[in-house]
Amino acid sequence: MSLEWEQVVVDSADPVALGRWWAEALGWVVVAEEPDEFEIRPAPDRLPGLIFVPVPEGKQVKNRLHPDFRPQDQQAEVARLLSLGARHADVGQGEQSWVTLADPEGNEFCVLARRQA
């Protein structure tokens, strides 16, 4: 038996707006564009994807699951994401080599430092 990772579901107040934000942040494409189910993928035929669905309640606590990204240039990528509407997030980790940000709805993610050769 094996499992194929299809997508990660992201609860959202505004699935279309948040999905478009993540598509821009990741450079992914939109594959489904409904108000109650907005999906993006790295390419139309590549998985996994992110699917954004509406929920009535807002985010209230730190994420239990969050993505980590490792760019070539951490400082430039953090600046780019902040210019798109991300914000710095403090989740109580203190000084670290990564930068914790939050998307426009407050979902945390980390931008890691460049991998050491």
Q: What is the residue range of 76's domain?
A: 63-117
List all residues 6 or more positions away from 69 whose beta carbon is below 8 Å from its beta carbon: 77, 109, 110, 111, 112
Q: Based on the structure, what is the number of domains in the chain? A: 2
Distance between CA atoms of residues 102 and 110, nearest Å: 8
Handedness of CA 98, 74, 111, 103 (dihedral sign): positive
pLDDT of 79: 98
Residue pLDDT, tens place only, 4-33: 999 999 999 999 999 999 999 999 999 999
pLDDT band of residue 116 (cuts 50, 70, 90) is confident
pLDDT of 90: 81
Statement to judge: residues 44 and 67 lie in one domain: no
pLDDT of 29: 98
- Examine the fold and report which residue of 55, 77, 94 is the final residue of a domain before the chain moves on: 55
Statement to judge: residues 51 and 96 lie in one domain: no
- Examine the fold and report which residue of 55, 81, 97 is the final residue of a domain before the chain moves on: 55
Statement to judge: residues 72 and 36 lie in one domain: no
Q: Which of 113, 116, 105, 115 is nearest to 22 (CA)?
A: 105
Residue pLDDT, tens place only, 40-71: 999 999 999 999 999 988 888 777 888 999 99
Statement to judge: residues 42 and 90 lie in one domain: no
What pTM does this model have? 0.89
Statement to judge: residues 17 and 48 lie in one domain: yes
- Examine the fold and report which residue of 55, 80, 99 is the final residue of a domain before the chain moves on: 55
Instruction: Strand 49-54: give its sheet, edge to edge.
Output: 7-12, 49-54, 37-41, 29-34
DSSP three-state, residue 48? coil
Statement to judge: residues 50 and 68 lie in one domain: no
CATH number of the domain encompassing residue 115: 3.10.180.10
